[in-house]
Amino acid sequence: MQKPEISIIVPWYNEAENCAHFFETVVPILEDVTVSYEIVCVNDGSKDDTFSLLRAHRSENPNIKIVNLSRNFGKEAALSAGVDIASGRAVIPMDADLQDPPELLDAMVKAWRDGAQVVLARRMDRQSDSVLKRATSRWFYELFSRMAKPAIPKNVGDYRLMDRIVVDALKQLPERSRFMKGLFAWVGFRQITLDYTRPQRAAGSTKFNYLKLWNFALDGIFSFSSLPLKIWSYFGFLVSMVAIIFMAFLIARTILTGIDTPGYASTLSIILLFNGIILISMGAMGEYISRIFIEVKQRPIYLINEMEGFEASIDSNATSLPDVPVGGPPETARK
C-alpha cells in the first residue's frame, strides 16, 4: 500500500455526538484536496460509544484508521500516538469537535505544496471562548514567551500542517511530558501562518476544565524554561546584600546610640515572608524533580490496545508499516 499524501490525526475522547458530523464534513473536503489520505483516529479511552462509531465509519471508508489506546492518556499523548503512527507525507492534527475548520485544509495543503514545511493556523478572534479563558490564555502566552525559547506562536493551537521531515524530527523528541505546542515550536523549520476564526464546538462540551488547563500551563512552562529554578539564586543574592547592609546599619546604630529591643512585629513578618518565599522556591524545585522522576521512569507515553487499518500495509510493503510497536513509541524515540 502506498503511503498517503495527507494524514489527519484526530484525538477522540467521549465525542460520540461529533462522530457522524465530523466525517460528513471532513471527508468530502479532504477528497477535493487530495486523492490519497488517511484519517488516523486515536480513541483516547472514551467511555461512550465513540470507538464503535469510529469502527462503523471505518467499515464504510477504509481511509479511516483507528488506534485504540488502553485508557485515557490525555490529548497530548493521543496526539503523540497519532504522530508516531501516521505515515502521510504531510500530517495535520485536528480536533474532533470541528473547532479546527476543515475549510482551511485546502489553503494549508496548497501552501505546503508551494514549499512551506509547517503551515500554522492562527485564530484571529476567540469569540467562541469565554472571557476568562481568553484572558488566561493571553497571560499564559505572554509569560511563556518571556520565559521560554523558542516562544510559541500566539493563538496557534495544535491545528497545523507539518511536512514529513518535521514529523520525523518531532518523533525524535523523547520526553514524557508532551506539551505538543512547545514541541511543535521547538523543532522549527520553514513556517507560514494562515488566519481563521475559531467556531464554537460542534456538539458536546469541552474536555478541559480550569484545573486541567492550569496543570497544562504549568507543564508548558516547567518543561520549556528553567527560569523558575534559577531565579532563586539571584533573589537569594539580592536578599543577602540587603541583609549585610542592614546588619552594618544595626552595628553602627548600636555603637552610636546603644541597644534598643522592640521589633517583634517586624521580625515576625520578615520571618513569615521569607518562609513563604523559601517554600515557593522549594515548590518550584519540586516541579522539576517530579518531572525528572517521570522522565527517568521511562514509561511509554501511551499504550495501544488495538489498531485497525494498518494491517494492509504489513502485507504489501514493509516500509509503510507504522514504525510503532503496539505498546508505545518507537525504541529510537526512547533513547
Q: Site mask, ligand UDP, residues 219-258, x = CB under 6 A?
A: ----------------------------------------
Q: Cβ of residue 18: shortest distance to ligand UDP, in angstroms?
A: 8
Site for ligand UDP in 29-48 (CB under 6 A): 44
User: Residues 93, 179, 207, 222: which binds ligand UDP (CB under 6 A)?
Assistant: 207
Query: With contact defined as beta carbons under 8 Å apart, do 41 and 307 qualify?
Result: no
In angstroms, the CA 80 to CA 87 distance is 13
Candidate ranges 30-38, 95-103, 136-144, 317-325; the one touching ligand UDP (CB under 6 A): 95-103
Nearer to ligand UDP, 127 or 206 (CB): 206
Binding flag, residue 98, ligand UDP (CB under 6 A): no
Q: Cβ of residue 243: shortest distance to ligand UDP, in angstroms?
A: 47
Q: 208: which residues sit within 8 A by CB, 6+ positions away?
A: 216
Binding flag, residue 100, ligand UDP (CB under 6 A): no
Binding flag, residue 82, ligand UDP (CB under 6 A): no
Best CA proximity match to 83, nearest among 143, 173, 21: 173
Q: 278: which residues sit within 8 A by CB, 6+ positions away?
A: none
Residues facing residue 307 across a β-bridge: 67
Residues touching ligand UDP, count (CB under 6 A): 17
Nearer to Mg ion, 126 or 201 (CB): 201
Nearer to ligand UDP, 3 or 126 (CB): 126
> What is the contact surface with Mg ion in residues (CB under 5 A)?
95, 97, 99, 201
In angstroms, the CA 159 to CA 161 distance is 7
Nearer to ligand UDP, 13 or 140 (CB): 13
Query: With contact defined as beta carbons under 8 Å apart, do 87 and 322 qualify?
Result: yes
Candidate ranges 60-68, 204-212, 223-231, 262-270; the one touching ligand UDP (CB under 6 A): 204-212
Q: Cβ of residue 99: shortest distance to Mg ion, in angstroms?
A: 4
User: Residues 99, 117, 191, 223: which binds ligand UDP (CB under 6 A)?
Assistant: 99
User: What is the contact surface with ligand UDP in residues (CB under 6 A)?
Assistant: 11-13, 15, 44, 72, 74-75, 78, 95-97, 99, 201, 206-208
